[in-house]
């Protein structure tokens, strides 16, 4: 059995990790970490766990945890892991970090967008960006995996096939994103109260959202082009889910014509034909968050617009599963030589 420790179990992503790992046949959760609920039974924090675990919440002591477990998941705010990670800890245990601390290779970019000083730059180069569909082989041998952000995961997978194929002008890319309220975390904030969110939709982080450089960096790697894009997220009144609609200008063929719909769709089908968790929808079907809720699936679709010479790329996923905990478990499976889908063959919930 793989012995697991989780730091931040009482946040939404942490609770989702617990839910998934309790169903994983190869895992035993040894440490439920939570600074806010020390010595409180976990089911007293999340009543859905009643009868499933009698464990109590314990302090987030990474050094001690590393002596007792095989892998640590850190579902914590930015800056936490970087402030406590040491070579001694990494020599004992594998770590999957759900924060942004090790996602961005350019430390100055990280510090600029997150407005904090990076406390462990020595581990940035080693950290593997844990998007399994992109870095599967590197994840298998990693000590430290940077679990991708929710918006970057959905945005990247929606755009990736055409960016990789060199079919779009990367400088024209615009990404419009919608997310449920759980993406903002469990902390009490006036802007996330029911009366503030219900019957409303709003843009936020306009031209300044912290996931922007992560998306740009990863798309630049696969496209081979410098990528600077507009990314605008919106908050919508639902618990879970992300919907991405991305726009870009198509590159013309040598004969001056534009790629057709079937040609573009075939690029997606070929790119994802071996990916269990990425579902390329049928022609004319658009992704919907309700069809991926509670699962590790990402539904993607693409539509060309010959009138404007642009292409519309779409994606939908559950921000807490493939956007956080599910992807982290997918990474763990790879790191320990297990089938990638172990514990994650979740049928989406409906209604």
Residues noted as catalytic = 150
Question: CB-side exposure of 12: number of CA atoms within 13 Å?
Answer: 19
Residue 186, phi-psi category: left (phi > 0), alpha (psi -120 to 50), beta (remainder) = alpha
Put the strands of the sheet holding 298-305 in their side by side order.
202-203, 230-235, 174-179, 242-249, 310-317, 298-305, 278-280
Q: Which residue, 85, 112, 117, 81, is CA-closest to 98?
A: 81
d(CA 99, CA 83): 12
Q: Which residues of 90-106 are buried (b: 16+ CB within 10 A; e: fewer)?
A: bebbbbbbbbbbbbbee
Residue 324 burial (C-beta neighbours within 10 Å; 0-12, 13-18, 19+): buried
Consecutive H or E run containing 80: helix 80-84
Q: Which residue, 68, 56, 74, is CA-closest to 13?
A: 74
Apex CA 341: angle with CA 337 and CA 345, to 5°?
Answer: 155
Q: ω into residue 45 within 30 of 0, thus cis? A: no
Placement of tokens 């990280």 in the chain = 110
19-to-40, 45, 77, 147, 319 alpha-carbon distances in Å: 18, 13, 20, 18, 15
Apex CA 168: angle with CA 165 and CA 170, to 5°?
Answer: 110
Q: Work out the number of other CB atoms within 10 angstroms of the CB of residue 1.
A: 10
């Amino acid at each position: 059995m793989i012995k697991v420790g989780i730091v931040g179990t009482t946040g939404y992503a942490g609770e989702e990790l617990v839910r998934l790992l309790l169903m994983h046949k190869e895992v035993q959760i040894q440490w439920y970490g939570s600074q806010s609920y020390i010595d409180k039974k976990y089911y007293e924090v999340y009543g859905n766990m009643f009868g499933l675990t009698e464990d109590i919440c314990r302090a987030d002591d990474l050094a001690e945890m590393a002596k007792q477990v095989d892998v640590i998941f850190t579902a914590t705010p930015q800056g936490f892991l970087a402030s406590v990670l040491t070579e001694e800890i990494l020599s004992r245990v594998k770590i999957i970090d759900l924060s942004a601390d090790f996602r961005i290779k350019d430390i100055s970019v990280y510090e600029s967008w997150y407005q904090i000083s990076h406390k462990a730059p020595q581990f940035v180069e080693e950290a593997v960006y844990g998007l399994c569909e992109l870095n599967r082989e590197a994840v298998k041998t990693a000590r430290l995996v940077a679990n991708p952000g929710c918006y970057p995961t959905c945005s990247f997978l929606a755009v990736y096939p055409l960016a990789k194929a060199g079919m779009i002008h990367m400088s024209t890319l615009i990404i419009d994103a919608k997310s449920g309220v759980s993406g903002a975390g469990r902390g009490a904030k006036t802007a996330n109260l029911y009366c503030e969110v219900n019957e409303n939709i709003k843009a936020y982080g306009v031209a300044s959202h912290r996931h922007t450089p992560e998306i740009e960096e990863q798309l630049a790697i696969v496209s081979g082009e410098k990528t600077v894009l507009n990314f605008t997220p919106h908050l919508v009144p639902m618990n879970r889910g992300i919907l991405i609609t991305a726009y870009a200008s198509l590159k013309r063929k040598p004969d001056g014509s534009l790629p057709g719909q079937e040609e573009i769709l075939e690029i997606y089908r070929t790119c994802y034909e071996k990916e269990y968790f990425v579902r390329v929808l049928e022609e004319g079907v658009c992704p919907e968050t309700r069809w991926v809720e509670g699962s590790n699936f990402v539904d993607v679709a693409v539509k060309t617009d010959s009138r404007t010479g642009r292409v519309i790329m779409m994606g939908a996923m559950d921000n807490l599963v493939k956007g956080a905990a599910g992807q982290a478990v997918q990474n763990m499976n790879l790191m320990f030589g297990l089938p990638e889908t172990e514990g994650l063959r979740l049928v989406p919930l409906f209604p």
